[in-house]
Amino acid sequence: MIYEVTKQLQGRADGRQRENAKVGMAHNLGGLGGVVCGVVILTNEK
């Protein structure tokens, strides 16, 4: 998922590209015997 967000922000996602992508978010839920949540927010702004 982070790979796709990175491609979108770089403007290199080919047929899946969202126009003017500036911010992307990826998340993951899971874990054994418990719950773990991770969130990553990326931007192409300088």
State residue 1's pLDDT score.
Answer: 86
Q: Which region, left, alpha or beta, applies to residue 4 given φ > 0 means left and ψ of -120 to 50 means alpha? A: alpha
Q: Which of 21, 18, 26 is nearest to 9 (CA)?
A: 21
Q: Which amino acid is at 4?
A: E
State residue 33's pLDDT score.
Answer: 79
Q: Which region, left, alpha or beta, applies to residue 38 given φ > 0 means left and ψ of -120 to 50 means alpha? A: beta
Confirm if 16 and 24 have CB atoms less than 8 A apart.
no
State residue 3's pLDDT score.
Answer: 95
Print pLDDT tens along the chain (46 aa). 899 999 999 999 999 999 999 999 999 998 887 889 999 999 998 7
